[in-house]
């Protein structure tokens, strides 16, 4: 038995950083889309349009709504534009993945991609028609029916968390290629 075979049998080599980061990006996006679509279907099946369900002592309510716009119902009359924006986001993330070697960036981009695809799925396939569909939202915090904060869904949460993580990574100098810019290096470049 050769040394290479013994090493292969006895010890698993870790995945290269690039493969691990891209794998995490894809897996995260897939899990987010799955969770988003399952929770939306459950909400449509079990939550009444006219009545909110109180949870956690009133900290969270399930209030079913269909949103034709973006956050805060902005752009309601331009529903067709949102799938186009999603296509741009997907192309940008694929472009970023070509040089991706950072696991935290893989997670951040996976959260953004999953959130974008979750809501795009609604826009493309839900009523009132293709590329004009309304996004199913169901989570209202601190009051029913978006009384204190806009109603959202799992895709919205994922998108928000992904963007916050990406901003934190930028501010801490973590690069998508796995390197890190130190504070001293940042001062020299500015």
The residues annotated with a catalytic role in the active site are: 137, 156
Sign of the torsion formed by the C-alpha atoms of 108, 111, 115 and 120: positive
Q: How would you classify residue 13: left for phi > 0, otherwise alpha for psi between -120 and 50, otherwise beta?
A: beta
Question: What is d(CA 134, CA 128) in angstroms, rounded to the nearest whole number?
Answer: 7
Residue pair 136/180 in contact by the 8 Å Cβ criterion: no
Residue with tokens 């949870």: 55
């Amino acid at each position: 038995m050769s040394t290479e075979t013994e090493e292969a049998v006895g010890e698993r080599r870790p995945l290269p950083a690039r493969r691990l980061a891209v794998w995490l990006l894809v897996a995260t996006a897939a899990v987010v889309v799955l969770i988003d679509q399952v929770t939306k279907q459950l909400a449509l099946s079990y939550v009444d349009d006219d009545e909110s369900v109180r949870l956690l002592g009133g900290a969270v309510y399930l209030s079913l709504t269909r949103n034709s716009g973006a956050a805060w119902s902005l752009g309601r009359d331009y529903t067709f534009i949102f799938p186009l924006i999603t296509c741009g986001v997907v192309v940008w993330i694929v472009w970023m993945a070509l040089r991706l070697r950072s696991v935290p960036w893989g997670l951040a981009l996976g959260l953004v991609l999953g959130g974008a695809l979750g809501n795009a799925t609604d826009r493309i396939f839900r009523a009132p028609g293709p590329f004009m569909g309304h996004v199913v939202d169901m989570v209202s915090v601190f009051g029913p029916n978006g009384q204190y904060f806009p109603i959202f869904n799992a895709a919205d949460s994922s998108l928000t968390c992904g963007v916050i993580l990406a901003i934190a990574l930028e501010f801490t100098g973590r690069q998508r290629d796995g390197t890190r810019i130190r504070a001293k290096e940042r001062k020299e470049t500015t």
